[in-house]
Amino acid sequence: MELAAGSALAQVPTAIYVMQVDGSHVRKVAETPDFKSVGHARWSHDGKRLAFHGWDGPNGARRVFMCNADASQAPAAGPEGRLPDWSPDDKQLAFQTPGNGVTGVSSWVENFDGKGRTLLAEGSSPRWSPDGGRLAFIDGAELLIRNLIDDQQQSLTDQAWQGIRLGFDWSPNGRQIAFVARRDDGVLALWIADAKNPAPRLRLQADVMGHLAWSPDGKQLAITLDNMIQLLNADDDTPPRPIPGQIGSSRDPAWSPDGKWIAFSSNRPASGP
């Protein structure tokens, strides 16, 4: 979720950081001087790289970037767009592009060399399933799953919804999707849906930001609540727990494949720990 110009996080340039799950060993891994705000990081499946996007760039541009998770190289600019997601083999990125007044928001896949761009769906926030056989994306107030083999499609939101926030996530086994949405009855909450059954269950009723991440063991979700990264058990009613030691405003958590690190975007002061 990109923030309005007057919000707390938008007042100070943001950068991509990583920290261990207990809040220790915080380090900055990427910033983009020409793009004031960055976020929505995603780890490659080998745990070596991060893809993220920047906005508030030249003429309001949004662009996908890639960097090494150990900060050993400056970020490399990718395609214009946002909300990147790695293909299961880490050789391509899916991302969304804005509408142009003629066509709506659409999701694409592209090779790292900028070639082979292919339309995936007329919708936003593309997310490959862990096995690569399905694609989940948002189309208006629907969360859809498309089978990439037979092109069959199903909706996980067959109820009446006002809208779904960008940045949902698949469970590691590919059986569930966690997402933040508001129903027509006004309930804004984090929901968990079975990928084969369009009947989401309410997990947490709160003003959770949309971008979230499932832990590699499938037991927890990393979410953004009250401008902090918090951890939430996926299968019980335990309240969320803030990761200690955070300063400034933090959001957009992404869990590393080995479960030891969380990448996030923050405006934490440069002099902070």
Spatial separation of the C-alpha atoms in residues 33 and 47, rounded to whole Å:
25
Q: Decide the pairing of beta strands 213-214 and 197-204.
A: unpaired
pLDDT digits (tens, 9 = 90+) for 47-87: 999 999 998 888 888 999 999 999 998 999 999 999 999 99
**Domain range for 36:** 17-266
Q: Which two tokens stand for residue 244?
A: 């200690």
Indicate the length of the chain as a whole number: 273
Given this model, what pLDDT does residue 217 score? 97
Q: What is the mean pLDDT of residues 235-246?
A: 95
Is 4 domain-assigned? Answer: no
pLDDT band at 9 (very low <50, low <70, confident <90, very high): very low
Q: Does some domain include residue 8?
A: no
Q: Which residues share a beta bridge with 87?
A: none
Is residue 12 assigned to a domain? no
**What single DSSP character describes residue 168?**
-
**Alpha carbon distance 266, 192 (integer Å):** 26
- From 132, 205, 192, select the one nearest 157 (Cα to Cα): 192
Neighbours of 209 (CB within 10 A): 21
Does some domain include residue 85?
yes
Flag the least confident range among 8-12, 56-60, 137-141, 191-195: 8-12
Q: Indicate which CATH number applies to the domain containing 197.
A: 2.120.10.30
Tell me how many domains the chain contains: 1
Q: What percent of the chain has pLDDT over 70?
A: 92
- Is 271 among the domain residues? no
Please write the tens of the pLDDT for every residue from 180-235. Answer: 999 988 999 999 999 887 789 999 999 999 899 999 999 999 999 999 999 999 99
- Residue 261 within any structural domain of the chain: yes
Enclosing H/E stretch for 9: none
Whole-angstrom distance, CA of residue 136 vs CA of residue 122: 11
C-alpha separations of 114 from 98, 111, 122 in Å = 18, 5, 20
Per-residue pLDDT at 30: 95
User: How many Å apart are CA 66 and CA 8, to the nearest integer?
Assistant: 26
Q: Write the pLDDT tens digit of every residue in 143-162.
A: 999 998 998 999 988 777 99
Residue 3 included in any domain: no
Asked if residues 189 and 204 have their Cβ atoms less than 8 Å apart, the reply is yes
How far apart (Å, rounded) are the C-alpha atoms in residues 180 and 166?
8
Confidence of residue 256 (pLDDT cuts 50, 70, 90): very high
**Residue 103 within a domain:** yes
